[in-house]
Amino acid sequence: MPKPRDAESFLGLLQESKLLSPEKVRTVVDNFQLEEAESAKQAAQKLVTEKVLTRYQGERLLAGRTRGFFIDRYKVLEVLGFGGMGSLYLAEDVETTVPVALKVLNDKCRNDAGMLTRLKLEATAGARLEHPHVVRTIKYDDTGAICYIAMEFIKGISLLELVLLRQKSLPTPQVCDVILQAALGLQNAHEAGIVHRDLKPENLIIDSQGLVKVLDFGLALLKDNPEAEFSLSMIFGHGCVGTPEYIAPEQSRDGSSVDSRTDVYSLGCTMYFLLTGKLPFPKGTVSQKIQAHREQTPRPITEIAPKVPADVIAIVEKMMAKRPEDRYQSMEEVVEALKPFAKRTPVEFRFNKIVSQRVREAKARSAIAQSSIVKPQLSSRIATASHVAEQAQQKTEGIERLTRGESDISKSGILRHAVPAESTDQMAQQATNALSEKIQPIEIISIDDKQRFPITRQRVVLGRNADCDIQFNQPGISGEHCAFHFENTGWVVSDLNSKNGIEVDGRRIQEQIIFPGNTLTLAGKYHFRVASPNQYAAKGKHKNLVIAASVLVGIGLIAGIGYWLLS
């Protein structure tokens, strides 16, 4: 339908959407004098401000959309995120008004046997579990037209998002507490015959009170359901399933014969990351990382985080023992080991801001998937729980920030970065078109000495040579070390066959999409933060105002003293 031209046509769309009953529509029209609104946008803003509509609902109606507000018995309130697999919505049960999180497969994945199997497995495992530290599954439905899971809604962020938000590792007592809570939830799963097989910071969610829950059982092993495991192996092959940065040695050899001790190992890797801010084995290809988990010892925690107590380090090392028999034999043992060191810590974050950022990143991934400017090296033998079949996600691994865009409304409470009503493919094309119109400058800032290097041209080369655009004459840096180039949807950094390589967020790469917020490491020892030039503009403007005000006060004070002395 066309976009509403005025308040009257907007109210017509509102009534057609059935978001409000006809009586309720008449009531809000009279109470808020909406017929006198100067525009459709003003009417929408009023209803959002008064909490009659959500930001998402207001944006869709302004886009001329009247369908898609209801999925089965759930009314969609907001978008929590979306990507190559589908969308995650905040919704409410129209019968009970209980809020839920709805994970809905998109059209492409609804016809993908692998995605359907994973979602059904996640629902089956989740429905068996009822525990304070496990996200509860409420309903699964596949009607053919739509496939979704309704889950317990948690107003929280993942532990990965928490580390990125802080931009450093977490305090030891807090780490011990969140791992302890996760272990409690996993002990419940293990007792129900379920092995998670994909534990990592992204799959642990924490709320503002510090409560942690385990989620995403999409690659779980159900001991009493061999049919589900057979389906996974038929679809994804007989190789291992899991995430290479956190996978246990025995899981990469035979994922179907693992037990609870496999989860102990992955949870230990997660604890290592939370304590240090580093992955146990950050470098190399997928197969090299898997081999490292089997044969190598990670960098000692004492070298990275010397303040972590030796007793806590010993717990991590035991959880990450190569042989299952050398680890804690159950999550119950992990809980008992962590209790003396754990302390519950409230967490501060702006949930709406985090959700908005998730949406921007997802839009970036969709756009980049369209442009295909990065050709990742992937192993066909491993299926990650985050994106088993999402090659778009793999192409943009490491994206954590996206240059801001504007939606139709930018004032009075409606989401500035609203999700368009179109499919992700259409969104991708829109994002590509918007971003390719002009170069969005970035800069890299040395974490060591705060030196700034602006990157404003289509291609910028960094190296030791005098003719490089950015001359960085330091030991270990090659003559032409790396290049930054802007292509279609954003910035890409490429290794120019340097001797000591480059890393993005701790991962050695050849070519990688980068956005503000990424950490760039050259030659293993020079660390930079990727930033948008306007990222600090507000701070600079504020600082300039303070300086100007101080100067004016100073002038006034001198003038006053002079007048007093002369009078």
Note the CATH number of domain 157-352.
Answer: 1.10.510.10
pLDDT value at position 541? 47
Contacts 24+ apart (CB under 8 A), 551-554: none
For 86-102, the DSSP string reads: EEEEEEEETTT--EEEE
Note the CATH number of domain 442-531.
Answer: 2.60.200.20
Residue showing tokens 């994804």: 236
426-446 pLDDT, tens digit per residue, is 333 333 343 334 677 899 999
Structure confidence at residue 405 as a pLDDT band (50, 70, 90): very low
DSSP-assigned beta bridge partners for residue 149: 103, 140
Q: Is 103 annotated as a binding-site member? A: yes
In this predicted model, which residue has the larger pLDDT, 365 or 303? 303
Residues 376/384, Cβ–Cβ less than 8 Å = no
pLDDT value at position 286? 84
Local structure of residue 535 (DSSP, 8 states): G
Q: Which range has the worst mean pLDDT, 73-77, 384-388, 510-514?
A: 384-388
For 320-362, the DSSP string reads: T-SSGGGS-SSHHHHHHHHGGG---------HHHHHHHHHHHH
The predicted model scores a pTM of 0.64
pLDDT at 318 over 80: yes
Which segment, 97-111, 161-175, 431-445, is predicted with the most confidence on average?
161-175
- At 408 the three-state DSSP class reads coil
With a CB cutoff of 8 Å and minimum separation 6, the contacts of 141 are 72, 147, 148
Structure confidence at residue 363 as a pLDDT band (50, 70, 90): low
58-77: b or e for each residue (b if 16 or more CB lie within 10 Å)? bbbbbbebbeebebeebbbb
Mean pLDDT of 39-48: 92
pLDDT at 154 over 50: yes
Q: What tokens were used for 388?
A: 């088993």
Rg of the chain on CA atoms, in Å = 26
Distance CA 398, CA 376 (A): 12
Mean pLDDT of 73-101: 88
